[in-house]
Amino acid sequence: MKPAQFAYVAPASVPEAVAVLAERGPESRVLAGGQSLLIELRHRTARPALLVDVNRVPGLSEIAVEDGSVHVGALVRHAQLEHARFDDSLAELFRQVAPYVAHPPIRARGTFAGSLAWAHPASEWCALAMAMGAGIEVAGPAGGRTVPADAWFRGAFATACLPEELVTGVRLPRPPAGAVAAFAELRRTHGSFALAAALVMLRLSGGRVDWVRIGLANAADVPLRAVEAERLMTGELPEPELLAETAVRAAAETDPPDEPHAPAAYRRHALATLVRRCLTRAVQKATAGSP
Ligand SMILES: Cc1cc2nc3c(=O)[nH]c(=O)nc-3n(C[C@H](O)[C@H](O)[C@H](O)COP(=O)(O)OP(=O)(O)OC[C@H]3O[C@@H](n4cnc5c(N)ncnc54)[C@H](O)[C@@H]3O)c2cc1C
């Protein structure tokens, strides 16, 4: 199907974009990489009167590595994260996750921030943002604000972003030095959305787990951080029995969708397996002193 008719504007700056959204926000949609929005337009599940194309807004395409955090501009594409070369375990996590986000042409256009704005429950980037305690930066008529990831995701395809607001970037705290990353995903075919996915970042100190983050995708209608599971292993020796117990605890924190091709019990089992796999890999890496 062809999209319904819409008007189009391409503002040249954030204030210009915000001015347009302030006036016509509820009847408009922001266009970033277009990899999700154009499908909605073609299916006519979205019929905005106006598209606000932000691709010409300068200054939104950079990954900035700062002392305590990494800032990802609103137009940073999935592919930029796939090839992130900065010296931090967060870059290693980006490189592990990105190849699971769709196909290369989609990764060349789609944006990290767009994924967070779209808020698909299976989105790997949403799970990463949740696990890592990201702050989503938005600009609106009343000025700027930063929304913590755990207050951003309100449900499937629902966020705290108001119609008159523009996401301008995402700030991710840098993991502590020595942290290592692991990611695992179950999907039906190459490039399809995750049936379930897990990511782990952890650090060992004196042989014990002294810092850990566990993120889960398609484990509920919002991305999850498995805080109870993290608590269970913090301060402990990462023995195989503890990793298995932590994985089961993480799966118990989920509320996955129940679908004929992937019932909730199957998804929970898959999530436990994926978490245990990530924990095992991360512990092996940390023990070997690998980045
Ligand atoms: C075949 C296919 C497979 C895919 N597989 C995966 C997958 O495995 N995992 C995955 O996570 N994603 C997947 N995607 C989705 C893809 O990653 C999208 O690129 C991403 O979800 C949205 O980013 P975008 O920049 O393309 O956003 P757009 O499509 O431009 O916008 C998406 C939504 O976010 C809003 N939005 C975007 N940017 C902003 C902003 N700066 N401020 C306010 N609102 C904004 C838009 O208004 C729209 O509502 C797939 C897509 C396709 C077509």
Containing 31, the helix (H) or strand (E) segment is strand 28-31
pLDDT-derived band at 107 (thresholds 50, 70, 90) equals: very high
> Could you give the percent of the chain with pLDDT greater than 90?
93
Whole-angstrom distance between the N-terminal and C-terminal Cα of the chain?
48
Nearest CA to ligand 1 atom 37: 114
Per-residue confidence (pLDDT) for residue 103, from 0 to 100: 95
| 9-24 per-position pLDDT tens digit | 999 999 999 999 999 9
Q: Which CATH fold would you assign to the domain 180-285?
A: Enolase-like; domain 1 (3.30.390)
Residue length of the chain: 291
Q: Sign of the CA dihedral 72, 76, 81, 87?
A: negative
Per-residue confidence (pLDDT) for residue 289, from 0 to 100: 72
Q: What is the DSSP string of 172-228?
A: EEPPPTT-EEEEEEEESSTTSPEEEEEEEEEEEETTEEEEEEEEEESSSSS-EE-HH
Q: Where in the chain is the domain with CATH 3.30.465.10?
A: 63-173
227 CA distance to ligand 1 centroid (A)?
27
Tell me the CATH architecture of domain 63-173. Answer: 2-Layer Sandwich (3.30)
Which atom of ligand 1 is nearest the CA belonging to 194?
8
Cα-flanking dihedrals φ and ψ of residue 226, to 5°? -85, 80
Q: Where in the chain is the domain with CATH 3.30.43.10?
A: 7-53
| 258-274 per-position pLDDT tens digit | 988 889 999 999 999 99
pLDDT beyond 70 at 62: yes
Question: Ligand 1 pocket test: which of 24, 55, 106, 199 has the largest number of ligand atoms within 8 Å of its C-beta?
Answer: 106
Question: Ligand 1 pocket test: which of 8, 57, 118, 193 has the largest number of ligand atoms within 8 Å of its C-beta?
Answer: 118
Q: Where in the chain is the domain with CATH 3.30.390.50?
A: 180-285
| 2-57 per-position pLDDT tens digit | 999 999 999 999 999 999 999 999 999 999 999 999 999 999 999 999 999 999 99
| 115-164 per-position pLDDT tens digit | 999 999 999 999 999 999 999 999 999 999 999 999 999 999 999 999 99
Per-residue confidence (pLDDT) for residue 261, from 0 to 100: 87
Q: Which CATH fold would you assign to the domain 7-53?
A: 3.30.43
Q: Is the CB of 111 under 6 A from ligand 1?
A: yes
Q: Is the CB of 125 under 6 A from ligand 1?
A: yes
Which residue has 């009847």 as its token pair? 27
